[in-house]
Amino acid sequence: MRGWGLLVLSLHVLSCLVSGVASGRTSSYVRTEFPSTDIPLESEWFAIPKGYNAPQQVHITQGDYDGKAVIVSWVTPEEPGPSEVFYGKEKLYDQKAEGTTTNYTFYDYKSGYIHHCLVDGLEYNTKYYYKIGSGNSAREFWFETPPAIDPDASYTFGIIGDLGQTFNSLSTLQHYEKTGGQTVLFVGDLSYADRYEHNDGIRWDSWGRFVEHSTAYQPWIWNTGNHEIEYRPDLGETSVFKPYLHRYMTPYLASKSSSPMWYAVRRASAHIIVLSSYSPFVKYTPQWLWLKNEFKRVDREKTPWLIVLMHSPMYNSNEAHYMEGESMRAAFEKWFVKYKVDLVFAGHVHAYERSYRISNVNYNITSGNRYPVPDKSAPVYITVGDGGNQEGLASRFYNPQPDYSAFREASYGHSVLQLKNRTHAIYQWNRNDDGNPVPADTVMFHNQYCTRRRRLKKNHLHLEDLEDLISLL
């Protein structure tokens, strides 16, 4: 980002630094949007790769706790074929990893052969090429490993939620790919295949091909949403999350989790905790017990940035899905404050909203204290469920805007979080129809653990922050 772009961003961040401590803002921006209908199956965006039984729907995710492994997944449509990944630092592909194959049925749908292959023992900060499939049907890709775990390791995450497979979804993907994001934190609701008759798995396949342009080349850290539950007793399908669990592997064992639905990874300077909004989480449940222990394993001296992902937001002033995250807030918010979580990203609501640092941990059903209050130890809550799926935007916010809500807008988009060092990160939310990085919401975050507290005085420009920002850019 250079010249005018840098200046525009600087001024924008500057204005946010000034205005961000004042009252919240509801954007009046209205954009022209594509119809909220899925892209036709015959579209080029879902093209089946050439060659008999060619691997398709290729996606990678982190394969261990610390970023020295990836899980490579793909589907072969006709027959299992080899479940092997050939890889190396050059296109000689001098190393090989062996994977496993699975498949499933869902009512009258029969999946292809789904391969998952752990590629481990990788070096940090290294580009690897990999090849899957055989003969004329072989396909080649690459990925880059993250820097070693280090408190000052800079790294850029994209955050995408509720993506689906409409032209708005495509716009989100294309805009994200321009940002330089290195890994996607996905906050649930992937394909929306469950919106089709009999939860048609063909739309899982088309979605896998749709996102391959990104998912084959950089890890997407997966999380589930309500559209992954797929509980259909009327069809005889009572095994929840069945398609998702067959298709999307997570490294849950590496973080001592007992379920692929909740887990943690460490990447560069970040410790990322993935929670399942639709699995049991109240006291004494496996997820609750796991999270209790995982917070104790967080080492802010090594990974100062502590990030939590979930699907249903705890703080949401949109009429859509209002209060649905309240039960998880009641279960976990006190830990988020105790452990000084930096950021909580959620989806589910098809709009964008960012909170101030607030908490409601003093809420007591007997004695009152029912309002969220400013809390310097609390995370910022960000809802970014605006990926662009067929359900359309959630455009009705409650008014007046609550004190805890800093900015909200009903547009499609995605977020980018640039961790610069142990103390500072630049965050921006980009709405889709800004063709270039001209963010609609930009904030510089100070790390909750490493940064000395500098309280911005209301409506006063803080020169230290501007100096920090310019030095980071």
Q: Cite the active site residues.
A: 321
DSSP at 57: E
The interface region with Fe ion, picked from 163-171, 175-183, 239-247, 342-350 by CB under 5 A, is: 342-350
Q: 409 and 26 in contact (C-beta within 8 Å)?
A: yes
Q: Which of 63, 151, 201, 225 binds Fe ion (CB under 5 A)?
A: 225
The secondary structure of the chain in percent helix, strand, coil, rounded to multiples of 5, reads 20, 25, 50
Q: 136 and 122 in contact (C-beta within 8 Å)?
A: no
CA proximity to 264, closest of 331, 324, 339:
339
Residue 301 Cβ vs Fe ion, minimum distance, rounded to whole Å = 36
CA-based radius of gyration for the chain: 22
The interface region with Fe ion, picked from 215-223, 225-233, 255-263, 393-401 by CB under 5 A, is: 225-233
64 binds Fe ion (CB under 5 A): no
In the chain, DSSP finds a helix count (H) and a strand count (E) of 7, 26
Tokens of 270: 């970040």
Q: Among residue numbers 365 through 424, which ones bind Fe ion (CB under 5 A)?
A: none
Residue 364 Cβ vs Fe ion, minimum distance, rounded to whole Å = 30
The angle formed by the CA atoms of residues 275, 174 and 156, to the nearest 5 degrees, is 50
Q: Which of 68, 242, 300, 348 binds Fe ion (CB under 5 A)?
A: 348
Residue 226 Cβ vs Fe ion, minimum distance, rounded to whole Å = 4
Tokens of 113: 């052969």
Residue 41 Cβ vs Fe ion, minimum distance, rounded to whole Å = 23
Cα–Cα distance list, 138 to 27, 88, 144, 291, 393 (Å): 48, 16, 20, 41, 40
Residue 416 Cβ vs Fe ion, minimum distance, rounded to whole Å = 22
Query: How many whole angstroms from its chain centre is CA 22?
Result: 28
* Residue with smallest beta-carbon separation from Fe ion: 348
The site for Fe ion, by CB under 5 A, has a size of: 4
Closer to Fe ion by Cβ: residue 310 or 337: 310
Residue 228 Cβ vs Fe ion, minimum distance, rounded to whole Å = 9
- Coil/strand/helix, residue 195: helix
Amino acid at 461: L
Closer to Fe ion by Cβ: residue 70 or 394: 394
- Coil/strand/helix, residue 102: strand
Q: Which of 53, 145, 226, 442 binds Fe ion (CB under 5 A)?
A: 226
Interior/surface letters 338-376, b for 16+ CB within 10 angstroms, e for the rest: ebbbbbbbbbbbbbbbbbbbbbbbebeeeeeeeebeebe
189 binds Fe ion (CB under 5 A): yes
The interface region with Fe ion, picked from 76-84, 144-152, 301-309, 344-352 by CB under 5 A, is: 344-352
Closer to Fe ion by Cβ: residue 225 or 260: 225
The interface region with Fe ion, picked from 46-54, 152-160, 219-227, 302-310 by CB under 5 A, is: 219-227
Closer to Fe ion by Cβ: residue 189 or 465: 189
The interface region with Fe ion, picked from 28-36, 134-142, 181-189, 328-336 by CB under 5 A, is: 181-189
350 binds Fe ion (CB under 5 A): no
Please provide residue 207's backbone torsions phi and psi, each rounded to the nearest 5 degrees: -65, -40
Q: Give the footprint of Fe ion on this chain (CB under 5 A).
A: 189, 225-226, 348
